């Protein structure tokens, strides 16, 4: 059985990253035309900013955005695939196990975008059927007005000091949280014990990561799990927050982008994926706080090199084969109907 252990990939690849501030030139590909539909779990604001920039560079192109949370989007996409009426040309969301399944079933189109030369080889997935377009991690974020001690570990979330004030996204909304569960329960230092302790500490499981980040910034939660770029965005807006990469390992969250094999416009679809990896696309992503995957782009200020970030390993076969068990067990522990 193939075992895609993400920790190995990230470390082997990231040690070769040479992020440097370089000139930010426009993509040189010929402008494309036509209309395609992007299915994504990214925030509508972020996705639309990318689409607007792409359409500016390609005046004859139109990209329509269909946005849902990962779990809902996956359900919609699976229903369309079963019915033989797929509405997506490009897909971009946080469910690596599903992308792997799509690749195996021939549902993704092998493409060769020129900008792939500027991202590390380990972030080209399934022989060119999907590509990473930025780096994100699920981390611990906390409100500095409510947390007055050093935070280092996943188990800080289970401290009785924070009873009822710990927030986490729901795996029934957030694909990143599904990845988190699969990673945590297989880690010998964490396991289901962590979730049992969080439940005993009355942790609140609600919505997506964006809502958790905002809740921590507003003081609704003292501490919680969210995504690194969301924490940085709150910091930049002046909120009293900080975040850490857990000493046991943060969760690296792949968010692949790929072209559906059923697309009627493979050229424009490929051009859009290419744009996401290009310097203009990476600029838009970085403006929204993301870490770039293009090696020609600088890291956000104060962010360590990916080689220095501890990361939990993720076995995508385990996730794919045990998804329902993981969700059922999580729901049972937290009393989610």
pLDDT in tens, 44-63: 999 999 999 999 999 999 99
- Residues 289 and 320 both lie in one domain: no
pLDDT value, residue 13: 37
- Residues 209 and 286 both lie in one domain: no
Report if residue 72 sits inside a domain: yes
User: Using CB atoms within 10 A of its CB, is residue 108 exposed (0-12), middle (13-18) or buried (19+)?
Assistant: buried
Report if residue 118 sits inside a domain: yes
What is the number of domains present in the chain? 2
How do strand 223-227 and strand 130-131 relate by DSSP bridges? unpaired
- Residues 62 and 148 both lie in one domain: no
Report if residue 96 sits inside a domain: yes
Q: Of the given ranges (71-75, 184-188, 220-224, 273-277), which has the lowest mean pLDDT?
A: 71-75
Report if residue 23 sits inside a domain: no
Report if residue 114 sits inside a domain: yes
* Other residues' Cβ atoms within 10 Å of the Cβ of residue 126: 17
| Stretch 148-159: mean pLDDT | 98
Report if residue 86 sits inside a domain: yes
Q: What is the pLDDT of residues 95-141, one digit of tens each?
A: 888 899 999 999 999 999 999 999 998 899 999 999 999 999 999 99
Give me the CATH number covering residue 143: 3.40.190.10
pLDDT value, residue 118: 96
Report if residue 67 sits inside a domain: yes
Of 153 and 12, the one with more pLDDT: 153
End-to-end CA distance of the chain: 34
Q: Of the given ranges (1-15, 128-142, 228-242), which has the lowest mean pLDDT?
A: 1-15
- Residues 57 and 196 both lie in one domain: no
Question: Residue 88 is part of which domain span?
Answer: 32-135+254-299
- On whether the CB atoms of residues 230 and 136 are closer than 8 A, the answer is no
- Residues 48 and 101 both lie in one domain: yes
* Other residues' Cβ atoms within 10 Å of the Cβ of residue 272: 26
pLDDT value, residue 195: 98
> Is 80 exceeded by the pLDDT of residue 283?
yes
- Residues 215 and 318 both lie in one domain: yes
Report if residue 13 sits inside a domain: no
The band of 8, judged by pLDDT with boundaries at 50, 70 and 90, is very low
Q: Of the given ranges (207-211, 240-244, 269-273), which has the lowest mean pLDDT?
A: 207-211
- On whether the CB atoms of residues 110 and 129 are closer than 8 A, the answer is yes
Instruction: Give the whole-angstrom CA distance, residue 204 versus residue 230.
Output: 18
- Residues 56 and 179 both lie in one domain: no
Count CA atoms closer than 13 A to 244's CA, side-chain side.
Answer: 19
- Residues 179 and 222 both lie in one domain: yes
Residue 165: DSSP 8-state: -
Q: What is the mean pLDDT of the chain?
A: 90
- Residues 52 and 75 both lie in one domain: yes
- Residues 199 and 113 both lie in one domain: no
- Residues 220 and 129 both lie in one domain: no
- Residues 237 and 225 both lie in one domain: yes
Containing 225, the helix (H) or strand (E) segment is strand 223-227
């Amino acid at each position: 059985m193939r075992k895609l252990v993400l920790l190995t990939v990230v470390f082997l690849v990231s040690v070769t990253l040479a992020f440097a501030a370089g000139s930010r030139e426009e993509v040189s590909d010929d402008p494309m035309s036509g209309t395609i539909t992007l299915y994504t779990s990214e925030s509508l604001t972020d996705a639309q900013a990318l689409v607007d920039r792409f359409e500016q560079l390609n005046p004859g192109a139109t990209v329509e955005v269909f946005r849902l949370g990962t779990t809902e989007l996956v359900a919609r996409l699976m229903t369309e695939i079963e019915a033989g009426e797929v509405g997506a040309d490009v897909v971009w969301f946080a469910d690596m196990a599903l992308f792997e399944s799509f690749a195996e079933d021939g549902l993704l189109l092998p493409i060769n975008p020129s900008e792939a030369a500027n991202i590390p080889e380990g972030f080209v997935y399934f022989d060119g059927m999907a590509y990473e377009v930025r780096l994100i991690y699920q981390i611990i974020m906390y409100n500095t007005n409510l947390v007055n001690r050093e935070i280092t570990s996943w188990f800080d979330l289970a401290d009785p000091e924070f009873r009822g004030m710990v927030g986490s996204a729901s795996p029934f909304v957030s694909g990143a949280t599904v990845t988190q569960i699969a990673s945590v329960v297989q880690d010998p230092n964490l396991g289901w014990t962590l979730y049992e302790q969080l439940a005993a500490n009355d942790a609140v499981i609600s919505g997506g990561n964006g809502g958790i980040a905002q809740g921590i910034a507003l003081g609704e939660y003292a501490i919680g799990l969210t995504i690194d770029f969301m924490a940085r965005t709150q910091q930049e807006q002046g909120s009293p927050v900080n975040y850490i990469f857990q000493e046991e390992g943060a969760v690296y969250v792949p968010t692949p982008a790929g072209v559906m094999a059923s697309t009627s416009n493979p050229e424009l679809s490929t051009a859009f994926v290419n744009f996401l990896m290009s310097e203009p696309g990476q600029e838009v992503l970085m403006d929204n706080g993301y870490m770039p995957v293009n090696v020609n782009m600088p890291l956000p200020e104060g962010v360590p090199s990916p080689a220095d970030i501890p990361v939990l390993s993720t076995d995508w076969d385990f996730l794919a084969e045990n998804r329902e068990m993981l969700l059922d067990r999580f729901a049972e522990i937290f009393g989610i109907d």
